[in-house]
Amino acid sequence: DQQVKQNSPSLSVQEGRISILNCDYTNSMFDYFLWYKKYPAEGPTFLISISSIKDKNEDGRFTVFLNKSAKHLSLHIVPSQPGDSAVYFCAAMGRSSGDKLTFGTGTRLAVRP
């Protein structure tokens, strides 16, 4: 049972445009969410996070939005750059019920020059 779902396995975007990656979760106990970025032959690296007490967190070109009622979060990258081409993983945790990160299956983003 996938508690964190990334329903789009891939996304292609033109350089300079906005990339929107989506993530849904089912466990209402999750209260902290993270995005990781992964290049081929490398491990995932942390990108940005958000606590459930917020609905938005911004870091440069990257913004994460959280809609708790819909159990949905999204990562916006604007403007997209070719170097952003990677696999993006959404992850969630519930600090009140253990400290494991539960990851989604990932979305492969391709930014076209």
According to the binding rule CB under 8 A, does residue 100 interact with another protein? yes
- Binders of another protein among residues 15 to 34 (CB under 8 A) are 32, 34
Q: What is the DSSP letter of 9?
A: S
> Which positions ≥6 away from 95 have C-beta within 8 Å?
31, 32
Q: Nearer to another protein by C-beta: 13 or 87?
A: 87
Distance CA 61, CA 63 (A): 7
**Under a CB-based contact definition with an 8 Å cutoff, are residues 65 and 77 in contact?**
no
- Interaction of residue 56 with another protein, rule CB under 8 A: no
Does 53 sit near another protein (CB under 8 A)? no
Q: What is the binding site for another protein (CB under 8 A)?
A: 2, 6, 32, 34, 36, 41-46, 49, 51, 89, 91, 93, 95, 98-106
